[in-house]
Structure 1
Amino acid sequence: MILTVTPNPSLDRTYEVPSLDRGEVNRATGERVDPGGKGVNVSRAVAAAGRRTIAVLPLGGAPGALVAELLDAQGIEVAPVPVAGATRSNISVAEPDGTLTKINAPGPELSSAEAESLLETVRQQYRSGDTDWIACCGSLPRGLGPSWYADLVARAHAARARIALDTSGPALLAALRERPDVVKPNAEELAEAVGRPLTTVGDAVKAAEELREMGAGAVLASLGADGQLLVDGSGAWFGSAQVDAVRSNVGAGDSSLAGFLIAGGRGPDALASAVAHGAAAVQLPGSVMPGPADLDPSGVTVTTRIPVDRVLTEPVS
């Protein structure tokens, strides 16, 4: 069972349009409403794979009630933490060429009591079930300081839990001191963490190694169209897959993390699963998570021969 923690969940509306024309009336050709937030997406991908998952998240107002309803409909157990503020609503506009325009609301401000209740709910859920991993994902809402994830990691490790962390900025740097088992940055977050640009795959490998020196047990780094890296104590691997057309990249990184954890969360086989899930996700609309029928493991390549000189398709300055 995979337990997910999403401190700042959302209700996500995705509109597909032929093109986005600023200042004009744009008519959508498709519309989806999904429960959102990085940890929520991990739970959705785990559930789509037929595995049990519990989503811990603060929920408030009508949007929060709808998030819980949508998750329940997808077979996801919800451990809600009631909060006074309303859960945020986000909007994404997807164009046929894969361009995605997102408007993310800030979300409610959590009180100190609500922040502690969130930590306590994670503890209760972990102790009550046979949990393989705790996946802590996404930005922190107002009211939660940068050390909140670090506190969660410390408490989880004290209970002998394995932690996967997908966040960025000060929250990531603070949590590294508590040695999370896996961190999953994208290229931009990786560059921000080490404080310098990333131009090549080799630059990304070096940055991942630095995150390990800072405390991460393993680094699963998404490099967009260029593939994914896994760097841990036993070596480094590079994974890639052919993608014919990108429909939406919403939740693709979250799907990758789910695939990695489903496959055990360690080594090249888990990386191959991460790549397969991420490649499948970008070919689906909105934030739809791939199921087994959407995966193409035969199209995935994982190797220790990392193309260190390859220039990233989207270098990070």
Structure 2
Amino acid sequence: MIVVITPNPAVDVSYRVAEQVVGVTQRVLDVVRRPGGKGVNVARVLDAAGVPTTSVLPLGGTSGAWVAAALQRDGLATAAVPVAGDTRTTVTVVDDHVHPTMYGEPGPAVTADEWAAVTGAVRTALAAASALVVSGSLPRGTDPSVVRPWIRGAVDAGLLVVADLSGPSLLEAAAAGATVCKPNREELLDATGARDERSGALDLLARGAGVVVVSAGSAGISAHTPDAVVTVPAVPDVHGNPTGAGDAATAGLVLALTAPGTRTAADVTAPDVLHRALVSAAAYGAAAVLRPVAGEVDLAAVDRFTTQLDRTGSPT
């Protein structure tokens, strides 16, 4: 079982319109409401791949109650921690012409006692876990060091930890010894202040991360260790809704790194293991683009894209 922490869950609302035009009243052609947040999307993809998960997330208000009920209805195991503030809403507007536009509320303030309850729920869930994923933003006003005990607890238990975070919380995850830190390139440069990807990755490695995986959209995805960089190209000519593709890539990465035979830190940093993991991440990310909403993947496309990317060959 994989524990997935979503620090800032949401009600995700997707609007489809004929064409996005600023300043014009537009008719919404279709509406989809789903539990959201990056970690929730990761958990959905892992579940679709047949891997059980437990989602730990703070939920509050009527919107939080709706998220909890919807996750239960969808068959996703949760350890929901009650908080006083209302769970946020995000709105994504999509059409067939331009990149989706997303509006994300900041999320409610979460008190120190509420975060302590989240940490307790994480500790309980980790007792039966094979890996930990921490994914997404933190609610406004949250001390980024809140992620440290989650990650440190999993590391001390010998579990794989993948942290898909940004800003100061990404730096905290590296310092806590996350097995893999997985920012996109923009997040990496912003958090570290580095001028290039390799320098930013080396910064996180020096802080304590085991591997730094950097996604760069159409430029592909790379894994950095102190001594090497392994890169896999993006799947070409894939069109659709890219919202949630990064979360699906995180799930693909975790699936590969928790496969039988990949259990130690040395295994995870081996170039051939990293290549397989990047292929899986790229294939899952591309397969998510083919689906209309975040948290879904086209599993047949995953197999097809994996075969296609395998032709790029393993690193020497």
| TM-score, scaled to structure 2 | 0.88
Shift in CA distance, 241/169, structure 1 to aligned 2, threshold 3 Å: closer
Q: Which moved more, 1:84-93 or 1:69-78?
A: 69-78
Cα deviation digits, residues 219-245 of structure 1 (max 9, x gap): 111101111111236732111243434
Equivalent position of 2:307 in the other structure: 298
Equivalent position of 2:40 in the other structure: 40
Asked whether the 8 Å contact 2:275–2:315 carries over to 1, the reply is no
Shift in CA distance, 97/215, structure 1 to aligned 2, threshold 3 Å: farther
Equivalent position of 1:274 in the other structure: 281
Partner SS for 1:300: helix
Shift in CA distance, 98/17, structure 1 to aligned 2, threshold 3 Å: same
1:154 corresponds, among 152, 155, 164, to 152
**Mapping for residues 1-317 of structure 1, pairs under 5 Å:** 1-127=1-127, 129=128, 131-197=129-195, 203-232=196-225, 235-264=228-257, 266=268, 267-295=274-302, 296=304, 297-301=306-310, 302=312
C-alpha displacement at 1:120, in angstroms?
0.4
Equivalent position of 1:310 in the other structure: none
C-alpha displacement at 1:205, in angstroms?
3.5
C-alpha displacement at 1:212, in angstroms?
1.4
Identity of aligned residues (%): 36
Q: Which moved more, 1:51-60 or 1:288-297?
A: 288-297
Structure 1 residue runs of 4+, over 6 Å off? none
Cα deviation digits, residues 158-201 of structure 1 (max 9, x gap): 3333311111111111232221110100011111133144xxxx
- Aligned residue type for 1:289: E
Structure 1 spans left out of the alignment, 5+ residues: 198-202, 307-317
Q: Which moved more, 1:214-223 or 1:241-250?
A: 241-250
Partner SS for 1:281: helix
- Count, aligned residues: 299
- Aligned residue type for 2:160: R
Cα deviation digits, residues 27-63 of structure 1 (max 9, x gap): 2233221211111111011011111011000111221
| TM-score, scaled to structure 1 | 0.88
Asked whether the 8 Å contact 1:48–1:291 carries over to 2, the reply is no
Asked whether the 8 Å contact 1:180–1:217 carries over to 2, the reply is yes
Partner SS for 2:143: coil
Asked whether the 8 Å contact 2:247–2:295 carries over to 1, the reply is no
Partner SS for 1:93: strand
Greater RCO structure (CA 8 Å; 6+ sep): 1
Partner SS for 1:150: helix
RMSD: 2.0
